[in-house]
Chain A
Amino acid sequence: AQSVTQLDSHVSVSEGTPVLLRCNYSSSYSPSLFWYVQHPNKGLQLLLKYTSAATLVKGINGFEAEFKKSETSFHLTKPSAHMSDAAEYFCVVSGWSGGSNYKLTFGKGTLLTVNP
């Protein structure tokens, strides 16, 4: 079985300072990992994905994440927060669910607030 743990339910930063959202995963094989963002009352938007190619993955809006197998981590970072980054962020792992089916398993989410 696969799972992800988002270590912080809420992160608060000031505009212009770095962002770090932490995620640890558990998987019985090499995982595929994703970060999604959800703004209030909106759907989910894919920020980036890791699929066993480069361990440092660059995404949209200046976000990036580094896959560290030794630490079973996939933390999301951004050098400088913008007010528009305030949202809920989900770390997601793709796992086998029987037959030829895979499904996404979501972490509980991290709410990012950005203070002016």
Chain B
Amino acid sequence: DTEVTQTPKHLVMGMTNKKSLKCEQHMGHRAMYWYKQKAKKPPELMFVYSYEKLSINESVPSRFSPECPNSSLLNLHLHALQPEDSALYLCASSHRTGRNTEAFFGQGTRLTVV
């Protein structure tokens, strides 16, 4: 079972709302990732969790707040977003963070900020 599940699939939120994106994997992977993808662009790394600890933060604004409650779950809390934050948010997981390690991606959450 090579599946990363993201919920919701679509989300529309106002600039004053607070919402959360959820990601779950049951492959026993110990690294999980959040990426942001704008239309017709490659994914951009936001955060990396390794063994439930934040290991990479690519200077993402504080209105994005990641949380890793356990090794299977990764959340992204959203608050006071801007319209330019509208994008496809992809979660991924890998066995570990290593040079030869491929990542498995979820289907993404399509976020629209109005």
Contact = CB atoms under 8 A, between A and B. Distances in A.
Given A101-B50, A109-B42, A46 B104 contact: yes
B41 A32 contact: no
Contact of A107 (B6, B42, B48, B100): B42
Interface in A79-104: 90, 94-97, 99-104
Contacts of B99: 32, 51, 94-96, 102
Contacts of A51: 99-100
A38 to B, nearest CB: 9
A91 to B, nearest CB: 10
Contacts, number: 64
A59 to B, nearest CB: 11
B56 A43 contact: no
A44 B105 contact: yes
B102 A49 contact: yes
Given A43-B107, A101-B97, A108-B41, A34 B90 contact: no
Main DSSP-derived SS at the A contact region: strand
A95 B102 CA distance: 12
A60 to B, nearest CB: 12
Nearest to B55: A101
B88 to A, nearest CB: 8
B108 interface: yes
B105 A104 contact: no
Given A43-B90, A103-B56, A106-B43, A94 B101 contact: yes
11 contacts: A36-B105, A43-B6, A43-B90, A46-B104, A95-B99, A100-B50, A102-B98, A102-B101, A103-B45, A104-B45, A109-B41
